[in-house]
Amino acid sequence: MTDGQASVGQVRDWLRDAQRITVLTGAGISTDSGIPDFRGPNGLWTRNPAAERMSNLQDYVADPEVRRRAWQARKTHPAWTAEPNDAHRALAALEKSGKLLAIVTQNIDGLHQRAGSSRDKVIEVHGTIWWVECLTCGVRTPMADELARVSDAEPDPACRQCGGILKSATISFGQRLDNDVLQAAAIAAETCDLFLAVGSSLTVRPAAGLCEVAVNAGARFVVINAEPTPYDEIAAAVLREPIGEILPALVSAASEG
C-alpha cells in the first residue's frame, strides 16, 4: 500500500495507461452535493441510530410508524435539490475518454446520470430513490407521484393496484439484491484493468467484495476515501485527498492518455 503525494503521481500514470476502468462509488462522492453519508463521523446513522430502522426491511414491513417516518424523510430527502459536483462530472468526462467500463454505485441519488454519465454505464447496486416499488405486486411508480399522496390523511400510501406496502426502489437491509445487477457489477470488476473505489467505507457487501474480485482478476486497485477501509491493505494506492479535488485532477490526466 502507498499513501501521500507520491501515490497521487503513480495513480495518475495508471489512469493514463489504463484501458478499462471500473469505478465503485459510495456516499462520499455525493457529500459535496449536500447529501450526507451514513457511517462517517457526521453520518446520518452516526448522529441518529434510530434512522437506520427505516432502512431495515423487517422493521419497515412490520411497523407502520417506521413507514410513516420513512415517508416524511423521503419528502425532505436532499436528493431532490442536490446537484452533481465536480467528482460526478469527472466520471462523466472519463466516460467520454473511452476508458470507462462502468460506474458501480452504492448511491441511490441518481447524480451520476444527472452529471452526464450514460444510464447503461451506471450500475445501481442499491437501487434508486427516484422510483417506488410495491413489495407485493412489484409495480413501479415515480417517487414524485407517491410523495404527492403523502398527507395527514394518508401518511403511509398503499399500492393503488393491489393495496400492498410501497417502498422506495432501494435495497434495504434484509432485502435481496437484483441478481442481474449483481452479475453486471461482477463482470465490470472482473474485466477492468484499473478498479477505483471512491467515497465508500467498503463495509457493505457484496459491493465491497468487488474490490477482491478486481484484484483477483489482475486489476490494479485504488482507494480514494477520507477514512480507512477494510480493503486498504490490498490496494495498490490509497488517497485521502478530498474527492471533489483529486478525482477531477486524476481524470484530467487520464483523458490525456
126 flagged as catalytic? yes
Q: What are phi and psi of 164, to 5 degrees?
A: -75, 175
- CA dihedral angle for residue 196, residue 189, residue 231, residue 7, rounded to 10 degrees: -30
| Diameter over CA atoms, the chain | 60
77, 88, 112, 126: which one is catalytic? 126
Alpha-carbon Rg for the chain in angstroms: 19
- All residues at 6 or more sequence positions from 189 whose CB lies less than 8 Å from its CB, including other chains: 22, 24, 104, 195, 210, 211, 213, 214, 217, 219
- All residues at 6 or more sequence positions from 149 whose CB lies less than 8 Å from its CB, including other chains: 157
- How far apart CA 90 and CA 249 sit, in angstroms, is 8
The SS3 assignment for 229 reads: coil
Burial state string for 19-55 with b = 16 or more CB within 10 A and e = fewer than 16: ebbbbbbbbbbbbbbebebbbbeebbbeeeeebebbb
The residues that are catalytic are: 126
